[in-house]
Structure 1
Amino acid sequence: MEKAAIKRVQAITNGGQLYDDFNPEIDQARRESFEKCRRYNNLIIQKNEYHPEILADYFGYFGQEIRIEPNFLTEFGFNLHLGDRVTIMHDVKIIDCAPVIIGPDVTIGPNCGLYTASHAENPILRAAHYCYEKPITIGSNVSLGASVTVCPGAKIGANTIIGAGAIVVGEIPANVVAAGNPCRVIRKIG
């Protein structure tokens, strides 16, 4: 997708306002991202070959020493920013319709989902595929356990550990262990 089209899609999706999710340029961006993810995943599964350059070329930012295991999916890629030494385990889905900022030295466990999308509350607009987005921010040196769900607008502070199966719906501070549904601080680290 050309840069001007990416900017147009970002202007629609990153503004926090309701928009038609079936807009033709949004659909094209989604299809291109899914194709790149399939290509990346298939090379690992079929040939045991990791080719991060397939993803790096279209991410918003792609740090050094990134490890992404197969069955990875991101909706757009161009709203996804990965710091250095990020590890993403198997079967992770990142719906990056708004910016998803992941700091350095983050580990994302298997089956995690990071979702910026919220659908219209009005049932008529929802049926017409209207949605809005809220960005996600994950600080440096965070660990997400298996099957963690990070919801629209969530923020996780540096050095924090999120326990397996947690659902993060708001802000979790730095330097804590947190878990549960909704995710809550269990104790401080250190």
Structure 2
Amino acid sequence: MEQDLIKRVQAITNAGKLYYDYNEEIDLARDYSFKICRQYNDLVQHQNEYHYELLAGLFAHLGKNVRIEANFLTEFGFNLSVGDNVTILQDVSLIDCTFVTIGNNVVIGPHCGIYTANHAEDPKLRANHYCYERPIVIEDDVVIGGGSVIAPGVKIGAGSIVQAGSVVVKDLPANSFCLGDPCQAIRKLRED
């Protein structure tokens, strides 16, 4: 995808303001990402081949020693930064309409959803496909259990564990064991 198109789409989606989600250039960027994800997933599922060069060309950054399993989906890719030693298991949907930063040594379990998108609160605007975005940060050494949902604007502190099935709607502190809907820090894993 050409850099000028990426910059134009980012100027719309990354501003934190309401925008029309079916803008022609946004659709082009989304379709391109979906095409690359389909190619990548097809190779994993049918040939057991992990062609990370496809994703590296799509992502803002793709670290070393990364494993991404089948049925992975990212909305754009160019807002997604993935650190080193990251494992993303099957069926993860990552809606990166603004920045998503995943640190080093992170594990994301199967069937997780990571969503930067908020739909317009006004029903008329919502019906006309307006939305706005909030960035997500997952710091180093985090584990996110299977089936968890990470909501827009959330930061998960370094070294934390998010128990399977959790719904993270607010920031979580570092070095914490977290669970629930809404997800809360239950206890410290170690003293800082």
1:123 paired with 2:143, answer no
- Equivalent residue number for residue 8 of structure 1: 8
Aligned-partner SS, 2:124: helix
Structure 1: segments with no counterpart, 5+ residues: none
* Amino acid across the alignment from 1:176: S
- Equivalent residue number for residue 36 of structure 1: 36
Distance between the aligned counterparts of 1:95 and 1:44, measured in 2? 21
* Amino acid across the alignment from 2:154: A
- Equivalent residue number for residue 27 of structure 2: 27
Distance between the aligned counterparts of 1:81 and 1:44, measured in 2? 21
Q: Deviations over 1:126-158 (max 9, x none)?
A: 011000000000000000001010000010000
Distance between the aligned counterparts of 1:66 and 1:29, measured in 2? 24
- Equivalent residue number for residue 186 of structure 1: 186
Distance between the aligned counterparts of 1:189 and 1:11, measured in 2? 40
- Equivalent residue number for residue 146 of structure 1: 146
**Aligned counterparts, 1:69-80, within 5 A:** 69-80=69-80
Distance between the aligned counterparts of 2:68 and 2:23, measured in 1? 29
Distance between the aligned counterparts of 1:162 and 1:168, measured in 2? 8
Distance between the aligned counterparts of 1:127 and 1:65, measured in 2? 42
Aligned-partner SS, 2:182: coil
- Equivalent residue number for residue 109 of structure 1: 109
Q: TM-score, normalised by structure 1?
A: 0.99
**Root-mean-square deviation over aligned CA pairs:** 0.5
Distance between the aligned counterparts of 1:50 and 1:5, measured in 2? 27
- Equivalent residue number for residue 92 of structure 2: 92
* Amino acid across the alignment from 2:23: N
1:74 Cα deviation from its structure 2 partner? 0.2
Distance between the aligned counterparts of 2:58 and 2:48, measured in 1? 22
- Equivalent residue number for residue 165 of structure 1: 165
Q: Deviations over 1:36-74 (max 9, x none)?
A: 000000001111111011001120111111100000000
Distance between the aligned counterparts of 2:151 and 2:103, measured in 1? 17
Distance between the aligned counterparts of 1:127 and 1:49, measured in 2? 41
* Amino acid across the alignment from 2:22: F
* Amino acid across the alignment from 1:62: L
Aligned-partner SS, 1:81: strand
Report percent identity of matched pairs.
57
